[in-house]
Structure 1
């Protein structure tokens, strides 16, 4: 049963409102392509209203700015409580709208709750520093010696005056969000999505008013399986790492490097795992694999699969659309993939596992790093030296050892190279939104 659609308008200045133009657009469920609802379509006039409301909240006399840090933390805790209260409904809505299986959707909602609680706990713990410093000041007339005095320097981390109005753009809906990039009163952009759109946002931000930019742009993440790995564990996590959310994950383990001693066995087990994944309506709690988010994404993934076959990768299972209703693709496994192939180099963003053979860890690291991306990585091994060597030398912002996908609100998340700028989550994320003010106070030498 489809969840009730309660709100379809724009949320501006704490109110649900129609778009200024009155325009709407249809939102579809990827399960069967049917229309979920007609949703208000924001435009420039709506953006101006939203930014003006956000900017007003930054005024020094606004109610929000006058709240002390502890009170802000309590509000964030209340928000987390409300999301927790409605977690089942929110998960069902996300599953219905994007095609995530309901278990994953509920898990993501819970991650949101955890993130809000973590942020709430930090609200009154953002602290500055003091620096003992001497000051030399040149005074007039010039023939007089410079005055030297002691000084107390304080660094204020201005949580009350953070980056400013922030434009947050999510990967599946960058259109209206990118328009905000050009707005003169937007001070920061946080974008999650494709490299191409991320570059456009960064360039636009540079031409505007030197906006801060945080980008999380996906990757072509390597997962290395050593000969001594727990094979069943490695096969399971490798599959979850690339088939989860139908491969529509920025940190998907889309390049699986398997050492030659276990290569054939791993491929066989990987194929068996893929063939036994339960596919169907994502609202069914027993289903593992739902549809791609829309028809365009489905066709893009199918084109990559054809490219893989044309370039000589060995299709072991899957590779086809399922039925003619909805946007379903079979979990797909390619073996004998080579580094020069398109499916080895470009982010597919679909349920396509690419398996490569390697001989030595040194070779695996070199090949893993031979990409312009650097978001996530992983290794399965019982050798602690190999694990530490890999974690030291792999060029990725996240390294998982004998697991994959593990992440909490406290752990920074982000990438190297073209996988992005800055970090999400953890204290590193908070720093992205603060201003540091240096206040220098002259002190007399004697009392």
Structure 2
């Protein structure tokens, strides 16, 4: 298939794709309706069009999927498969994802409103994750402990069992790959609960997994709502691990459910209010301003690590904010199917109204609205890039995660003040630091309370480095071999000799 090159081409492909959507749950290698027969609508936020009615799973479907997953795990066709063979299956899955990359990207764009070029970038990340984790499978070693000659002690790594992955709507398939990649690579059976706002690419992935040759019951997909099927998975006595990306509030509930059930492992990647620190000594303020704008307006600001708090040294603040405003002007929302659009639509009406309410609060609490602050007229849920200056940490927009295209600018006079402001948050997912002073970079990097720090860039990294936060941003790590370790269990073996 030749990739479309313009808006008309992507629209044509979208019309074709909408006639082929799979909307049923994927349980034990079969696409089936929910036990209740219930469905929900998935809507294109750029047009208001109903794309499809999708199976709405609940506790009955969860119980059935968990039973099949447990049976598959104990059967051992995947969990005890030779590592090299398991690797080949996952590499076939990655190859199939590569062959269908445009289609998968288009599903995410239609489902949640993100620009098609952004979705294509997500697919590269998703495919890279599956390939990286596949290559890790036969490179993870156990240990032989030091003992005397009368014993042999080994430390083995074994899969956990049944893993339930609950993923968000902002990067639907990429977040799915980050969760299921290492869990499958470790030999677990995986049940995926995609967001009800973006289930379509997960169901298409199930078709590809079937084609790739994953054994029966090893990978299943349950579309539905968090308070029904998600809760049921979290409370299940036969799920060994819960991997979640989403809000801090939901993450806290999932930890409670784990405690109420079987003390299953819970790995969380939750909210963020990430600080982006700009010191006066950094070179090329125009380039830095462009990156600062992209850090908040990429994906309509619906990004867990969005650089939503911009902290600028006061000696350059006015000039720097002017440069950010200029950059923001080139990032206006447009049709998500247009390859020229930098921003797309807000995912749904609830999130759209929530963002606009935060903007109203910012004005009421005295922040200086420099640009944006309003929605676009016409069909679709579009909000302009919005910048507030003169924000303080007492203001709602300065403390709470908005998850939209709203930037809050703070000023500081010293390094200590900047670090204190950056750390004055319940969150600790990411932080940015712009400076040419290597001594300052080393000092501040170590003092920032964050799971990841981007120095003279924003959101840099690849599959070799872990992704995750501290404080109320969670405790799990996606990507890298560290994520594979999270989905395995250590078993100690002590053998008496002679």
For the superposition of Structure 1 and Structure 2, which TM-score range results when normalised by the shorter chain?
A: over 0.9
- Say whether the 8 Å CA contact 1:166–1:187 is kept in structure 2: yes
Mapped to 2, the partners of 1:435 and 1:337 lie a distance apart of 46
Q: Name 1:168's counterpart in structure 2.
A: 165
Name whichever of 330-339 and 61-70 sits farther off: 61-70
1:398 aligned residue: 452
The 5-angstrom pairing of residues 10-409 of structure 1 reads 10-59=25-74, 61-134=75-148, 150-158=150-158, 162-172=159-169, 173=195, 174-175=226-227, 176-229=229-282, 230-409=284-463
**Residues 249-285 of structure 1, C-alpha deviations (whole Å, 9 max, x = no match):** 0000010000012100111111121122232111100
Q: How many aligned positions are there?
A: 426
Find the partner of 1:433 among 477, 481, 487: 487
The Cα RMSD (Å) is 1.2
User: Who is 1:145 aligned against?
Assistant: none
How many angstroms apart in 2 are the aligned matches of 1:120 and 1:428? 14
Q: Secondary structure, in 3 states, of the residue corresponding to 1:199?
A: helix
Does the CA contact (< 8 Å) of 2:466 and 2:480 recur in 1?
yes
> What are the superposed Cα offsets for residues 279-332 of structure 1, whole Å, 9 maximum, x if unpaired?
211110001111110000010001101111111100001001111421111110
Superposition misfits of 4+ residues, deviation over 4 angstroms: none
* C-alpha contact 2:153 2:494 (8 A) present in aligned 1: yes
Deviations 1:339-382 (A, max 9, x none): 11111110000000111111111110111001111000011111
The answer on whether the counterparts of 1:412 and 1:425 sit within 8 Å (CA) in structure 2 is: yes
How far residue 40 of structure 1 moved from its aligned partner, in angstroms, is 1.0
User: What displacement does 1:85 show?
Assistant: 0.5
Partner-residue secondary structure (3-state), 1:189: strand
**Cα deviation, residue 179, structure 1:** 2.6
1:81 to partner: Cα distance: 0.2
Bigger mean CA deviation after superposition, 225-234 or 198-207: 225-234
Q: Which runs of 5+ in 2 are unaligned?
A: 1-10, 170-194, 196-225
1:133 is paired with a residue whose SS is coil
Supply the distance in 2 between the matched residues of 1:236 and 1:195 (Cα, whole angstroms): 29
Q: CA deviation at 1:222?
A: 0.4
**Structure with the bigger percentage of helix:** 2
Return 50-59 or 82-91, whichever deviates more.
50-59
5+ residue gaps, structure 1: 135-148
Distance 1:65 1:101 in 2: 38
Aligned match of 1:142 = none
Separation (CA, whole Å) in 1 of partners of 2:331 and 2:399: 26
Would you say the 8 A contact 2:332–2:385 is kept in 1?
no
Separation of aligned partners in 2, 1:197 and 1:343:
21
The SS at the match of 1:407 is: coil
Q: What is the distance in 2 between the residues matched to 1:66 and 1:421?
A: 29
